[in-house]
Amino acid sequence: MSGGYYRLFAAGIINGIGDRFSQVAMLSLILQLTGSGMAVGLSLGVKLIPYLALAPLGGFLGGKLPRKTVMMAADIARVPFALSFLWVTGEDRLWLLYVGSFMLAAGEAIYAPVRKSSIPLLAQRDALLRTNGMEQMLTGCVLILGALTGGFVSHWFGPQIAFVLNAVSFLGAALIISGISFPRTPPEGQEDEAKEGTDPAAKPGVAERSSRSKGLAAFIAGSVCLQIVLGYELLVSLVSGLDNVLISVYAIRVFHAGDIGVGAFYASLGAGLTLSFWAGSLVKRNLLAAALGGLLLEGLLHIGISAAGSFAAVCGLYILASLVSGIGSASLDTLLMRETPARWQPLLFGLMTAAGSTVLGLSMLLAGYLLARVEPRLMGLAGGVCFAAIAVLLGVYAWVKDRKGRKVSVLSRTP
């Protein structure tokens, strides 16, 4: 891996920790001001609405403009909105929090697909699985350092300090990204793919974008592996919103652990994701099978979380659930990067981010609505059952296609 990727990794750590500081403080502040699960769901859901329109734009910009410029601009533009949370001092000013959350999400919607499509440019093809494992470790470190520490900061110093630190983190991440040098040519193993998509007679603009979209759609239609991966992303996002909202509700309402409890649950998730970096090295082939098997086990673990009677037991189950989830996510990202030609990756990641985040946002809004009518543990049980059902459904689809000679298993092997 190049020094450029390590800079991208470091920027992600700083950026992510600031965001987690802010999120823990924001959720706790909302519950303190309103006591409403619906308000929690709304605050999380509104953050994902901008992805529908802006994530594809981010993918497009990543293919047209210098990626470093796009990411730095997205970070710097979010600073004033991160600071706007300082003016939320009562329930009558919650609208400032919702607007600020929306604008922060708009910047992330542009930033995220550009960052993700930059990974194959900064890592060799044979190192993608390890690199994507590091991405899971990055998320884990962010959860541990950001959520757990953020819980203590919010508890002892107040949410305002957490909001200021989030703004500072954007500036720090932009500074680190400014030192990245992207290669002028695609990395080894992708040069031919890039050349295949180059037509000297092609005219830029709407027609070119339409042609690329149609080409990408045809490619996905011919790849069972990518169909399953995309189905996984959408279906899992549909259920994940329930669990995302439940983390804070479990900590504050069920176990009465307050800010520190929220931070501890997020830190448990981070510990599992960090461990997945080393556990994922045991996966040598059949990445698709590893991801689906991990999802099935994750569903069973969430069923256990819904029935657990102690705070410590829930922490342990969250560690195991995020461990298998991290292995699955690294496997899926590696499959996408290997199976998708370089010229389509920014667009594909942009569209996936838009679709997945929009579905996740709607799921969070639904979770907030249901929490006013359904007991949290029952909703957690339903979420675990749905995860397991999705794993079985996609596994059956892969098996049927493989039996018909579509060679799903060949696509899922590592080289």
State the distance between the two ends of the chain, measured CA to CA, in whole angstroms.
18
**pLDDT tens track for 135-155:** 888 888 877 777 667 767 766
pLDDT beneath 50: ranges in the chain: 185-209, 409-415
**How big is the CA angle at 373 (ends 371 and 375), to the nearest 5 degrees?**
65
**Which domains are seen in the chain, by residue range?**
3-180+208-411 (1.20.1250.20)
* CB distance 166 to 22 below 8 Å: yes
DSSP 36: -
Indicate yes or no: pTM above 0.85.
no
Tokens of 47: 């953050």
Contacts of 27 (CB under 8 A, 6+ apart): 40, 43, 44, 248, 262
Q: Given this model, what pLDDT does residue 261 score?
A: 84
Residue percentage of the chain with pLDDT more than 70: 85
Q: Given this model, what pLDDT does residue 11 score?
A: 92
Tokens of 179: 């030192």
Place of tokens 């930059």: 118
How large is the angle between the packed helices 258-279 and 149-157, nearest 10 degrees?
160
Q: Given this model, what pLDDT does residue 197 score?
A: 38
Q: Given this model, what pLDDT does residue 193 score?
A: 42
Place of tokens 């080894």: 188
Phi-psi region of 381 (alpha: psi -120 to 50; beta: other; left: phi over 0): alpha
Selection from 342, 239, 258, 344 nearest residue 298 by Cα: 239
Q: Given this model, what pLDDT does residue 334 score?
A: 86
Q: Given this model, what pLDDT does residue 98 score?
A: 87
